[in-house]
Amino acid sequence: MKNKLLISSALAGSLMFAGVSANAQTTVSGNLNVSYKAVAVEGSKADSFGMFGKESQINLQSKGKLNNGWDYAAGFSIEMDGTDWTGSYTSGATDYPGGATTGNFAGAHLENNYIDIISGNTTVSFSIDHFQNSDFTIANKVGFADPEDMAAGIQVGTTGSSNAARAPLFIANTNSAYQFWGVGVSQKTDVGTFGILYNPNASTVTMNDIGNGATKKMDQANSRYEISFRGDLGVKGLDAFAFYNNSATDTPGTVGSTNDVTGERYGFAYNIGNVTVAAERARTNAKTDLAITSDALGISYAATKDLSVGYTHAKSKTGASATGSSTYGDETIKMISVGYSLGAITTGVQFAKVANMGGYATSDGDFALAYLRVGF
């Protein structure tokens, strides 16, 4: 259970938090994850490796009443991901872009930024990484890492670590709009929550400072929207979802820096006592040959209140053969997960076997992950 620091309105006032209403409640929470991952690349001992990983995050959230009787919620998170980087680099360098300097960096970035205005069951959200989120895998009910996280790490070729790592075909994010700044409207109903999210500029570049118009067009992407639903459809034990998004561009039908892409994801999980079964499908499409389809099935069993085991089978295929590959095959990921709760700390192990990573035939490997997760 997360321990949260509650800041009363009186304390907030003493700290000179401007604009905090008299009935506002502010909470600070966070989490720390530490893992060890081992990768065995078939046919290439030089590309096999083991390494530690970590994620740490602090969340600041506030909620309360507006003077017109509506509710509001607002917040942001600061996340420190990945391997620390030490050294010097020049502007435009690929190891750590952004300018010429020296120092130690730990992948710091903001996420889950939002201001929500709430009236009854209707919410208007101005946010990034906050609205109904299609970036998840419902077929993995146990364990920290989803199939694409477990599969990442096989190198291109068999001549050592100088080769670039391949990306899995498995779709965890179907071109989702939630990862860009936008405005969304969601409506809670008896069967679930419906939503629509709009991005005026689907850019991965950081948004401008307030009042700064220097960057009028951050990249070649134009608007994007996403329609979403998640709920139980009135059935106890059911968790169903459906997402559809569409990107408009200056050059429809092209791929690359200007994408004309649609994405969809739908599926369900159903709990029956100690057993949960799940299935999902995700697709991305473009007018050119960029179609990828991922299907996944999962089952989990809660052996005790603290111990759970799960199995996930995922298969992905694409309409285009992998670049630079003379042979091609459907990617398959088979994963076993075991999770155990120690109360304040959650721990577990995961094992995965991957064939045809990224669609490259004979690109196979075995993966193991052990992790600790603590919330505060």
In contact, 337 and 369? CB cutoff 8 Å: no
What is the tens place of the pLDDT at every residue in 137-174?
Answer: 899 999 888 888 888 777 655 444 444 556 788 876 66
Whether 345 has a pLDDT exceeding 60, the answer reads yes
State the CATH architecture for 36-47+101-375.
Beta Barrel (2.40)
Mean pLDDT throughout 330-339? 94
Query: Which pLDDT value is given to residue 86?
Result: 44
Query: Which of 242-251, 263-272, 322-331 is the least confident region?
Result: 322-331
Report how far Cα 291 is from the mean position of its chain's Cα atoms: 21
Mean pLDDT throughout 318-329? 58
Q: Please, which residues have CB within 8 angstroms of residue 273's CB and are 6 or more apart in sequence?
A: none
Query: Which pLDDT value is given to residue 178?
Result: 78
Query: Which of 117-131, 153-167, 311-325 is the least confident region?
Result: 153-167
Q: Please, which residues have CB within 8 angstroms of residue 11's CB and are 6 or more apart in sequence?
A: none
Q: Which pTM was predicted?
A: 0.79
- Quick one: pLDDT band at residue 16, thresholds 50, 70, 90? very low
Closest to 80 measured CA to CA, from 99, 104, 98:
104
Whether 305 has a pLDDT exceeding 90, the answer reads yes
Query: Which pLDDT value is given to residue 210?
Result: 54
Question: Any idea how long the chain is?
Answer: 376
Label residue 351 exposed, middle or buried (CB < 10 Å: 0-12, 13-18, 19+): middle
Instruction: Dig out the tokens for 151 from the structure.
Output: 């599969």
Instruction: Dig out the tokens for 195 from the structure.
Output: 């939503």
Instruction: Dig out the tokens for 244 from the structure.
Output: 């559809």
Query: Which of 7-16, 137-146, 345-354 is the least confident region?
Result: 7-16
Residue 173 has φ and ψ, to the nearest 5°, of: -140, 110
**How far does the chain reach from its first CA to its final CA, in angstroms?**
8
Query: Which of 28-42, 309-323, 346-360 is the least confident region?
Result: 309-323
Whether 23 has a pLDDT exceeding 70, the answer reads no
Whether 193 has a pLDDT exceeding 80, the answer reads yes
How high does pLDDT run on average in the chain? 78
Side-chain half-sphere of 101: how many Cα atoms within 13 Å?
8
In contact, 268 and 239? CB cutoff 8 Å: yes
- Quick one: pLDDT band at residue 261, thresholds 50, 70, 90? confident
Most confident option among 33-42, 88-97, 204-213, 246-255? 33-42
Instruction: Dig out the tokens for 47 from the structure.
Output: 């590309």
- Quick one: pLDDT band at residue 95, thresholds 50, 70, 90? very low
Whether 28 has a pLDDT exceeding 90, the answer reads yes
Query: Which pLDDT value is given to residue 285?
Result: 79
> Which amino acid appears at position 89 of this protein?
Y
Q: How far apart are CA 153 and CA 95, in angstroms?
A: 17
Query: Which pLDDT value is given to residue 223?
Result: 78
Dihedral, 49, 162, 314, 345 alpha carbons, nearest 10: 40
Closest to 260 measured CA to CA, from 204, 216, 308, 222:
222
Closest to 138 measured CA to CA, from 31, 8, 280, 273:
280
Residue 329 has φ and ψ, to the nearest 5°, of: -150, 160
Query: Which of 79-88, 271-280, 285-294 is the least confident region?
Result: 79-88
